Chain A
Amino acid sequence: MIRRSANQKAWWLVLPVVALVAFNAVIPLMTVVNYSFQETFGENVFFWEGTKWYLQILQSERFHASLLRQLIFTATVLAIEIPLGIAIALSMPRRGIGVSLCLVLMALPLLIPWNVVGAMWNIFALPEIGLLGRAINALGIEYNFTRQPGAAWFTVILMDVWHWTSLVVLLCYAGLCAIPDAYMQAAKIDGAGNWQVFRHIQLPKLKRVLTIAVLLRFMDSFMIYTEPFVLTGGGPGNATTFLSIDLVKIALGQFDLGPAAAMSLIYFIMILLLCWIFYTLMMRGEER
C-alpha cells in the first residue's frame, strides 16, 4: 500500500468529477426530495404535504408485497449465484490453452444489453417456440411462464443466474489466481484435503473479492428492472413485480409524483443501509 501524503490541492484534481456527479446526482435527488413532500395536479402547482407520502408508502400493501418479492428474489439469486460462482471458479484450470477463451465466453452474458437478455429469454422459454419451454413441457411438466406465477419466478431466477453468475466466477477466479503457489503446496504437504484447502486457504483469500461480488450482486439484483420487465412485464398479475418495476409503474405510468418520489427515497436509503450492513459484516474482524 502506498503511503499517501497530505495535500489539499488534490481537491482540484477531484473537482471535475465532483461537479459532474453532483450535477447528475444532487439536482435529481433534490427534485425527488422536493416532490416527496408535495402534491401536484400538474401545471407546476404544488402543495406541501409533509410526510404524508412516506406514511402512505410505508403502510401500503402494494409496497410491502413488492418489497417482499424483491427480498425473496435477491436472497434467492445470491444464494444460488455466489456458491455456484465459487464452485465453477474452483473447478477451472489455472493456466493452459483455452482459459482465455473460457473467460471470454463466460463474460459474454455480462455485455448483452439488459432488454436483449429479457427478449432472448422470452424467445428461449416460450412454451411453443422456445427451446427451454419445449424441453420442459416435453418432460411432462406443464410450463408456461406467461400464465403460471411459479414458472415465471423460475424463469426470472434462471435468467438472472444465467446473466450474472459469470461475474462471481470471474471475480473468484481472479482471487484464486492471486493465491501464491506456496500456499497450495504447503497444504498438500501438510496433508490437507480439498475441503480443508478450500476452508483454510481459498475462502479466506477470496474474502475481498467475495465482498465485492456480494455487494455488486446485491445492489444490482435489488435494482433489477429491465430484464424481468421485458420477460414477464411484472406478471402474471403482479407475480414478478419487483421494486423498480413497481416504482416505474407509479412514476411514469400513473404519474403519481409524490408517492413515487417518497418510494424512491425509501428504496435508495434501503439499498444504502443494506450495503452498509453487508460491508460491515463481511469486513468485521479484518481490522484486528
Chain B
Amino acid sequence: MRKIKWSALAPAAYILFLLLPIYWLVNMSFKTTNEILGSFSLWPADFTLDNYRVIFTDPTWYSGYINSLTYVLINTVLSVAFALPAAYAFSRYRFLGDKHLFFWLLTNRMAPPAVFALPFFQLYSSIGLFDTPAAVALAHCLFNIPLAVWILEGFMSGVPKELDETAFIDGHSFPSFFVRVFIPASGAGIGVAAFFCFMFSWVELLLAKTLTSVAAKPIAATMTRTASTSGYELGLLAAAGALTIIPGAVVIWFVRHHIARGFALGRV
C-alpha cells in the first residue's frame, strides 16, 4: 500500500505544477486592476466579474473568439475531409512515388511557420482572401493535413482489409463503401485526427496574426495588443486567456477515452 502512494506522488506533483500557472491566471482574471497592481494576494480579495463583462460585451473582444473558432472549425473539417481518402490510399495501396509523397507531406510539418509568414501574406493578399477566416483555415492546412494523413493512416492500417473485401463482395461501390462502411469503422481515428487539427489550429498564432488585420482578427492577436500596450489591463488579459482554455478543455473531454492511444498517433 505504501509503495502505491509513493509512486502516485510524482504525477500528483506534476499536475500541481501544471495547474499553478493556470490558477494564477484565473485568480488574476477575478481581480480588479487596482488589486493586481496594488497588493499581492493568493486569491481575489475584491472579487469581480468586470473583466469577463467587458469581454462579453465589447465586440472587439468577443468577435475575436468567434473568428478564432470559425477558422479552427473550417480548418478541422477541411483537413480531415481531405486527409481521409489520402490516408486510405496510403494504408491500402502501393502506387508510384507513394513513399516519397508521404515523406514530402510530412516535411511540411517540419516547416517553421516563421518561414512561411511573409510569402503567405503575399499569396493570400494576391488571391483576395487576406483578413478572412478562410485564409487562416487554408494556411493551417499546411501542417494539419500532413498530420491528419499521418494519424489516419496509422489508425486505418489497424482496420482489417477483409472489411473492404467483404463490402465490395456485398456490392458496395467505392464511394458508398467509403462513406457507409469505412468511415464508421475508423471513427476513433477520425476523432483523434480532428482533435489534433483542432489543437494545432487553435494554438497557432504567428500565421493567424499575419493573415488577418481587423475583420478576422483571432482572439490571440487581440490579446497581444493588450499585452503590449500596457500593464493596466492585466485583469482583462487574464480573463481573455482563461477563456481560451475552455474550448481546448471541452475538446479533450470528448476524446478522453482515446487520449492515450491518440497521442501515440495510433501507432503503438
Contacts and interface: CB of A to CB of B under 8 A. Distances in A.
Contacts of B89: 10-11, 13-14
Given A174-B260, A225-B206, A4 B22 contact: no
A88 B14 contact: yes
Interface stretch (B46-54, B55-63, B183-191, B246-254): B246-254
Nearest to B120: A28
Given A16-B85, A21-B108, A223-B112, A209 B224 contact: no
A8 interface: yes
A267 B112 contact: yes
A10 B15 CA distance: 46
Kindly name the residue among A11, A107, A110, A251 whose own CB sees the greatest number of chain B CB atoms within 10 A.
A107
A121 B264 CA distance: 28
Contacts of B82: 16-17, 20
A115 B205 contact: yes
A226 B205 CA distance: 7
Nearest to B102: A14
Interface string A197-234: 00000000000110010000001001101100010000
Interface residues of B, number: 99
Kindly name the residue among A106, A115, A208, A244 whose own CB sees the greatest number of chain B CB atoms within 10 A.
A115
B92 A10 contact: yes
Nearest to B139: A24
Contact of A170 (B122, B244, B263): B263
Given A115-B220, A119-B223, A268 B115 contact: yes
Interface stretch (A49-57, A72-80, A129-137, A185-193): A129-137
B220 A175 contact: no
A162 B98 CA distance: 38
Contacts, number: 290
Interface of A: 1-11, 13-14, 16-18, 20-21, 23-25, 27-29, 31-32, 87-88, 91-93, 100, 102-116, 119-124, 128-132, 134, 162, 165-167, 169-171, 173-175, 177-178, 208-209, 212, 219, 222-223, 225-226, 230, 243-244, 247-248, 251-252, 257, 260, 264-265, 267-268, 271-272, 275
Q: Which 3 A-B pairs have the closest CB atoms?
A: A111-B248, A28-B119, A174-B264
Interface of B: 4, 7-11, 14-15, 17-22, 24-25, 28, 36-37, 40, 42, 78, 82-83, 85-86, 88-96, 98, 101, 105, 107-120, 122-123, 138-139, 141-142, 145-146, 149, 157, 160-161, 199, 202-206, 210, 219-220, 223-224, 227, 234, 237-238, 241, 244-245, 247-249, 251-253, 256-257, 259-265, 267-268
